[in-house]
Amino acid sequence: MYRDHTKVIRIGDRVIGGGNPILIQSMTNTKTEDVEATVAQILRLEEAGCEIIRCTVPTMEAALALKEIKKQIHIPLVADIHFDYKLALKVIDEGIDKIRLNPGNITDQSKVKLICDKCKEKQEIHEKFPDFNVRNYGYSQLSKFIENMNDIVIESKKNAKIAKYKTKSTGRKKTNV
């Protein structure tokens, strides 16, 4: 199987990217605020082989629930943040293993910088904020993003076109890790 060389990222006690094995991850479909239902679903997913779990964080109540959810599960927990930078700041305080933040949803560079600064403050920038639009970027591109958000979004689109071209030209399936 063809795999592009990717950056190694630590998520909790797991490692993805590089030559590491591909890990199975899933996302809950419960209301994250409902700790009991969310934990029950995650434990079922763990039994089925899930190795990383992602929960959406649409409210402050959901952000606060993650701390209790994390105590009751055995796999790394990823917070999926949309639109409200304050939720990202809160889940960092709650000890989340990773943040998934889409730059198209939080467009104010100063808000993204606050999130990055908070991660740096905890010395976990590479573990907590490794991706934009589901692609892994390193700290240098994160800095570039803060300086000029449009450039990184354009760069992301170029990378997607290159990956699509590689898939078509080689006939091999591309796997993002």
Q: What is the pLDDT of residue 109?
A: 84
Q: Which residue's structure tokens are 């239902």? A: 37
**Does residue 165 carry a pLDDT above 60?**
no
Sequence spans of domains, the chain: 9-170
Strand runs labelled E in the chain: 9-11, 14-16, 25-27, 52-57, 77-81, 98-101, 131-132, 135-136
pLDDT in tens, 127-140: 445 544 333 444 44
Give, in order, the Cα–Cα distances in Å from 41 to each of 44, 45, 53: 5, 6, 10
Predicted TM-score (pTM) above 0.75: no
Instruction: Give the residue-averaged pLDDT of 45-69.
Output: 96
Instruction: Give the residue-averaged pLDDT of 67-81.
Output: 96
CA distance 142 to 26: 25
Q: What is the pLDDT of residue 136?
A: 40
Q: What is the pLDDT of residue 121?
A: 75
Contacts of 19 (CB under 8 A, 6+ apart): none
Question: What percentage of the chain carries pLDDT values higher than 90?
Answer: 41
Of the spans 5-19, 32-46, 159-173, which averages the highest pLDDT? 32-46
Q: 9-170 in CATH: which number?
A: 3.20.20.20
- Bridge partners (DSSP) listed for residue 131: 136
Give, in order, the Cα–Cα distances in Å from 9 to each of 25, 31, 66, 129, 148: 14, 28, 21, 10, 24
- Look at 18-27, 61-70, 84-93, 161-170 and tell me which has the smallest mean pLDDT: 161-170
Question: What percentage of the chain carries pLDDT values higher than 70?
Answer: 67
